[in-house]
Amino acid sequence: MLHLVTDSTSDLLADGARELGVSVVPLTVRFGEEQFLDGVDMDADTFYRRLTTSAVSPTTSQPSPEQFAELYRRLLREDGDQVVSLHIAGKLSGTLQSASLAAQEFAPGRVHPVDSLSVSAGIQLLLRQAARDRDAGVDAAGVVANLERARERLTVWVLLDTLTYLHRGGRIGRAQAFLGGVLNVKPLLQVHLGEVEPVARVRSRQQGMAKVIEVIRALGPLQSVAMMHTTVPEAAEELRARLVGLLPEMDITLGQLGPVVGTYGGPGLIGVATLKAS
């Protein structure tokens, strides 16, 4: 049997994980000496209330190799069992490294760690494809090959309310160019091939949403789209409605970023993941 594993930066809630048949390994969020398993000990709403009121900035940490190994042992009960383990971009987190170290405990070919080169809704789009392939009888090697092709066509567009949290968390990457007297702008970034890169600077959320529509319209045919937000469901739903108008044939889901990714995105974020058609 082929099993799918991911981590909590996919922001895949329990119901969605059960529906897709995916096991989720949580990362950890810390406020000072207090620590919480992402999506297990602290939900998103509780986290964002604390993020905006706490004097202590949260930090995050990846799962240990043993956390992954423990799950892999439970899944690899039969000789024919295999695992495809899909994780946040290796350039953004050490989570993939932990999964890869854990995989070495097992015989070659039993566990296949894969770098999504993405995060959150981007990982979700890849997981949906992997689940379809698994259910169609594609073997682990085929699922991995399809994921590695698909991730090249995957981009997550992120409209931030502020760069403050991304800068504070050290995940700003090439978007560093947006710093320097411009923390009052609302940056549009992209996560593509594992890198956080600047796209545009706008002065309002409405301008930012118009820019998102513009860049997505220019992409050409799309295979799938998914959306996330941190604390602005109404604005995210407004953008979703505009995307549905642009892509009426597309089933566009909308979810909430969990604590780990939200640590770096901050309040007011809206994200759109797009997977271009092959």
- pLDDT score recorded for residue 172: 53
pTM beyond cutoff 0.75: yes
Asked whether the beta carbons of 166 and 266 are under 8 A apart, the reply is yes
- pLDDT score recorded for residue 181: 46
User: CB-based burial of residue 191 (10 Å sphere; 0-12 exposed, 13-18 middle, 19+ buried)?
Assistant: buried
- pLDDT score recorded for residue 173: 53
Cα of first residue to Cα of last residue in the chain, in angstroms, is 28
Give the strands of the sheet with 28-31, arranged side by side.
34-37, 28-31, 59-61
- pLDDT score recorded for residue 217: 96
- pLDDT score recorded for residue 156: 98
- pLDDT score recorded for residue 184: 66
Residues near 85 by beta carbon (within 8 Å), at least 6 away in sequence = 4, 5, 6, 68, 72, 99, 103, 111, 112, 113, 114
CATH of domain 2-152: 3.40.50.10170
Per-residue pLDDT of the chain (278 residues), as tens digits, is 999 999 999 999 999 999 999 999 999 999 999 999 998 999 999 999 999 899 899 999 999 999 999 999 999 999 999 999 999 999 999 999 999 999 999 999 999 999 999 999 999 999 999 999 999 999 999 999 999 999 999 999 999 998 888 777 555 554 554 554 455 678 999 999 999 999 999 989 999 999 999 999 999 999 999 999 999 999 999 999 999 999 999 999 999 999 999 999 999 999 999 999 98
DSSP 42: B
Residues of the chain with CATH 3.40.50.10170: 2-152
The letter for the amino acid at 123 is I
* Cα distances (Å, whole numbers) of residue 19 to 15, 16, 129: 6, 5, 13
CATH of domain 153-276: 3.30.1180.10
Residues of the chain with CATH 3.30.1180.10: 153-276
